[in-house]
Amino acid sequence: MVIIDEDRIKQAIEIAVNTTSLKALASLPEMDELELVNIYDNLNPTGDSLKMVLFNVERGTYCEEIEAYMRYHPALKEAEIVFFNELDYGLLRTGNINTAAELSKRLQMNYVFGIEFMELTIGYKNNLIAYGKNKEAFHGNAIMSRHKLYDPMILRLPLVYDWFNDKQKRFGTRIALFAKTMIYDKEIGLICTHLENRVSPEEREVQMKVILEQAKKQFENIPVIIAGDMNTNTF
């Protein structure tokens, strides 16, 4: 993914201040790009079950520990599909690395990554003592699979809370990340999402309805798995 020029970010901030953050987001089309990596070619699983895992990794701060959980925890090991929430991509607070790529390498899994937000600060609380700059400054979700992923798509969800006006200032929206894979010689639709935590259940319902409507169009006549941090308790 490309690093967006600082001048364009400043222009987007000016647009957000004078109009809306959604108009600012529209001025940065790179935010809707996807990163798809298919370099692992695992054999079809055997047996009569399929293990899928949802993991909110809180920025991907501890990749080594996440790898250990995924490899050795009885409930997590040998998962075929992993839905990851809260992955940093070029943020100072996590060493300016692509945490999706790092976990993909550690777990030997293909992945697609989509951007929820561009972070406009280096962080908050303890992160504020860090020195340096963000790189790409992206934060988002990923689907990882031991099998090839294809037909990826990003769906931006209705803006029910504007993070541009939060102390953790950001451009972007919550997203649903769509992809397909083949398992047991059957096509399966995959959706990874992260609903808003700063609003009411009714507003999260609005976001989920949009996901379900798109799923019907995108994945007609095939099984669909939807996973994500649904934030069922308002923050």
Q: Minimum mean pLDDT among 1-10, 47-56, 108-117: which range?
A: 47-56
What pLDDT is recorded for position 134?
96
Residue 1 lies in a domain: no
Q: Rounded mean pLDDT of the chain?
A: 94
What pLDDT is recorded for position 49?
81
Residue 63 lies in a domain: yes
Alpha-carbon distance of 141 to 194, in angstroms, equals 8
Residue 235 lies in a domain: no
CA 57 to chain centre: 11
Q: Note down the domain range covering 50.
A: 6-229
What pLDDT is recorded for position 129?
55
Mean pLDDT of 174-196: 96
- % the chain with pLDDT above 90: 89
Residue 116 lies in a domain: yes
User: Is a pLDDT exceeding 60 seen at residue 58?
Assistant: yes
Residue 79 lies in a domain: yes
Residue 51 lies in a domain: yes
Domain tally, the chain: 1
- CATH, residue 150: 3.60.10.10
β-pairing, 149-156 with 110-119? unpaired
pLDDT in tens, 60-101: 999 999 999 999 999 999 999 999 999 999 999 999 999 999
What pLDDT is recorded for position 221?
94
Residue 139 lies in a domain: yes
